[in-house]
Amino acid sequence: MSPLQNDSESPTTSDASPANTEQPVADETAQAVAPLRLRYRIRFSKDGLLRWTSHRDLARLWERLLRRAQLSLSMTEGFHPKPRISFPSALALGVSGQREVVELDLSEDILAADLLEKLSSDRQPGLCLHSVQRIPQSAGKAKLRELQYTISLPDPELYESNVDLNNVQQAMDELMQQSSVTIERKKKQQTFSIKEQINALKLSDQGIQLHLAASDGATLKPSDVLDLIGCADWVSGGSKITRTDVVLQRELEPADPELFAQTNPSSPDDDTIGEV
């Protein structure tokens, strides 16, 4: 009986041995094929007819642009994976942007200049690329510090009356002297601190310069400020609101040319993606 028992035990021992050696190999393979995830920050402008595109449609435009460039996009996890594309601040409908920010994650390692060249070949009307920068994952997503705007004077051919700059300046001074203002949005009253919301409010012969502080909560909008100073009808009279800069809390200095690329200066009237 003992020889039969020894024969039955022998296969069991030999089968168990390979199973113990295969597990570490599988773990090493899983680590080796971990998907690459590299973040890029792009500065761009949005003007022309494209300024009448909603933020949601702008996000779709960027996704189509990246896919046409045949880039390997890093996708979110879950049942409905989506490309990792984010904007630190949405641009309101009808407002132009001169230095907007979009961040995207790619699953391929590509030089900043090569990425800029790929995107530049699309030439989407109204979209102009300014720079591409590789951002380390440790830096986290872009966080806002300030949003800067210019508001042009109404078009004399569309505006029914002449703009009295003295009255506008007086209204601006009175606004800045207030401690807080209350705005009604969606049938709810919201109160904003003037000192915490408005960093700068200046008037010139060209229009208004407005700097709004970023906040985690609700913030004032350029249209709110126009309403508060009695100029709510400027937009219907041909006034143009332009966001001149999106100022971030942390800007990384471009030190490595492989991680940063910039377009040549283009004409303000150029409504296409800039050329490298």
> What CATH number should be reported for the domain holding residue 134?
3.30.70.580
CATH code, domain with 222: 3.30.70
Whether 150 and 54 map to the same domain: the answer is no
18 found inside a domain = no
> Same structural domain for residues 40 and 131?
yes
Looking at 99-103, 182-186, 222-226, which range is the least confident one? 182-186
Clarify whether residues 68 and 203 are in a common domain: no
Asked whether residue 71 falls in the same domain as residue 153, the answer is no
Phi, psi of 86 (to 5 degrees): -140, 150
Answer yes or no: do 211 and 241 share one domain. Answer: yes
- Asked whether residue 254 falls in the same domain as residue 126, the answer is yes
Sign of the CA dihedral running 146, 180, 164, 47: positive
Are residues 199 and 212 in contact, defined by beta-carbon separation less than 8 angstroms? yes
**Mean of the pLDDT values across residues 230-250?**
96
State both tokens at 156: 């004399």
Average pLDDT for the chain: 86
Is the model's pLDDT at 29 over the cut of 90?
no
How do residues 66-122 score in pLDDT, each as one tens digit? 999 999 999 988 888 999 999 999 999 999 999 999 999 999 999 999 999 999 888
**Distance from C-alpha of 59 to C-alpha of 71, rounded to nearest angstrom:** 16
Per-residue pLDDT at 187: 86
Q: Do 218 and 253 have their domain in common?
A: no
Count of domains observed in the chain: 2
Residue-number span of the structural domain to which 175 is assigned: 143-246
Residue pair 40/47 in contact by the 8 Å Cβ criterion: no
Distance CA 118, CA 112 (A): 10
Q: Residue 100: exposed, middle, or buried by beta-carbon count in 10 A (0-12, 13-18, 19+)? A: buried
Residues 131, 149 within the same domain = no
| Residue 44, both tokens | 């761009």
pLDDT above 70: residue 60: yes
Question: What share of the chain in percent tops pLDDT 90?
Answer: 69
**Residues 133 and 98 occupy one common structural domain:** yes
Q: Is residue 1 part of a domain?
A: no
Compare 210 and 11 and report the one with higher pLDDT: 210
120 and 173 inside one domain: no
The reply to whether 108 and 182 lie within a common domain is: no
The residues, any chain, with a CB within 8 Å of residue 169's CB and separated by 6 or more, are 203
pLDDT score recorded for residue 255: 76
Q: Which residues contact 41 (CB under 8 A, 6 or more apart)?
A: 101, 102, 103, 132, 133, 135, 142
Q: In three state form, how does the secondary structure of 23-34 look? A: HHHHHHHHHHCC
